[in-house]
């Protein structure tokens, strides 16, 4: 039906190869479908885009809890019902397909999108390159996204509500959100943010007012998510020269990587922002 987007996400590579061998991939491609590589149980949101506000998806997948596939509505159904609904333009069954599909007012939709885009235009104010704040030293490696922001809170879509749950699944730091103050800086070990992609594990820190995170290394997806969201993350090899301890006040320059421990009057240097990270940061985000 006009206005319907068909997303194809094979659940396994074996099924993908079978579809290719049988010519199904070509059929779907010629029909205008969005085709993805094999994905997580056919979860289209992680492969070919999430629902936007007001959008409705009918899926043969197995996941539709709030927030999982975006901000719109997601309904689960049989392959036959999904195919029938794609033809009809609304949710129906294979024995009740209309002769004429539903039609949408694209002009109205376009005007709504233009208005939304205008409302979200960014003001390009210069953001600070030097920050000062109290330090949280969490001497742990491999803090994954489930420890940062547990999956039981994934139904929350308002970023302002996410901060209260940061680290409540990290042993010894369950009360982090209650004790954290705006302007704090968090220092952790290696491989921070490993595990599944979870934007809430970035946005929650922003809600709390955490100014930056310093780690020896990051999970690749977390690093990209944080940079794209203009949330300051930096890497270090060692902070021994600065003698940084929990509760110290430090000053940090994103552009030069200079770190001053104001509590002890000691200095060191860490990895500064790259040119790309600096540009995204000053833009307020990738988009």
Residue 1 lies in a domain: no
CATH of the domain at 160: 3.20.19.10
Angstrom CA distances, 32 to 12, 189, 219, stand at 22, 46, 35
CA-to-CA distance for 139 and 13, rounded, in angstroms? 39
Domain end position, chosen among 119, 152, 173: 119
Residues 264, 149 within the same domain: yes
First and final CA of the chain: distance in angstroms? 31
Residue 31 lies in a domain: yes
Residues 38, 180 within the same domain: no
Domain boundaries, position 206 = 130-283
Chunked into runs of 10 residues, the chain (287 residues) has average pLDDT values of 85 89 92 82 64 82 71 86 91 90 63 55 77 97 96 88 96 97 97 92 97 97 95 95 95 97 96 96 88
Residues 114, 33 within the same domain: yes
CA-to-CA distance for 170 and 234, rounded, in angstroms? 21
CATH of the domain at 24: 3.30.499.10
- Count of domains in the chain? 2
* β-strands 185-187, 212-215 pairing: parallel
Residue 41 lies in a domain: yes
Spatial contact of 102 and 89, defined as CB atoms under 8 Å apart = yes
Residues 135, 111 within the same domain: no
Residues 17, 138 within the same domain: no
Say what the pLDDT of residue 138 is.
97
CA-to-CA distance for 200 and 151, rounded, in angstroms? 10
Residues 230, 154 within the same domain: yes
**What phi-psi label fits residue 41: left (phi over 0), alpha (psi between -120 and 50 degrees) or beta?**
left
Residues 135, 190 within the same domain: yes
Residues 249, 146 within the same domain: yes
CA dihedral (255, 202, 218, 134) positive or negative: positive
Residue 125 lies in a domain: no
> To 5 degrees, how large is the angle CA 156–CA 160–CA 161?
40
Comparing C-alpha atoms, which of 221, 222, 200, 197 is closest to residue 156? 200
Say what the pLDDT of residue 5 is.
87
């Amino acid at each position: 039906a006009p206005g319907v987007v068909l997303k194809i996400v094979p659940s396994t590579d074996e099924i993908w190869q079978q579809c290719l061998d049988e010519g199904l991939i070509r059929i779907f491609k010629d029909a205008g479908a969005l085709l993805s590589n094999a994905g997580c149980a056919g979860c289209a949101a992680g492969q070919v885009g999430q629902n936007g506000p007001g959008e409705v998806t009918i899926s043969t997948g197995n996941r539709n809890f709030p927030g999982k596939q975006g901000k719109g509505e997601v309904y689960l159904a049989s392959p036959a019902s999904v195919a029938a609904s794609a033809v009809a333009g609304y949710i129906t069954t294979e024995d009740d397909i209309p002769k004429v599909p539903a039609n949408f007012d694209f002009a109205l939709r376009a005007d709504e999108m233009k208005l939304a885009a205008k409302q979200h235009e960014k003001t390009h104010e210069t953001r600070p390159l030097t920050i000062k704040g109290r330090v949280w030293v969490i001497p742990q490696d491999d803090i994954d996204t489930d420890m940062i922001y547990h999956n039981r809170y994934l139904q929350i879509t308002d970023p302002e509500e996410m901060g209260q749950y940061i680290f409540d699944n990290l042993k010894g730091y369950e009360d982090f959100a209650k004790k954290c103050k705006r302007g704090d800086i968090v220092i952790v070990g290696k491989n921070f943010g490993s595990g599944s992609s979870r934007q809430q594990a970035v946005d929650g820190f922003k809600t709390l007012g955490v100014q930056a995170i310093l780690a020896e290394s990051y999970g690749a997806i977390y690093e990209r998510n944080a940079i794209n969201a203009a949330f300051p993350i930096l890497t270090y090899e060692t902070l021994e020269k600065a003698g940084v301890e929990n509760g110290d006040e430090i000053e940090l320059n994103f552009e030069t990587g200079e770190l001053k421990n104001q509590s002890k009057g000691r200095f060191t240097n860490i990895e500064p922002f790259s040119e790309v990270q600096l540009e995204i940061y000053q833009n307020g985000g990738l988009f």
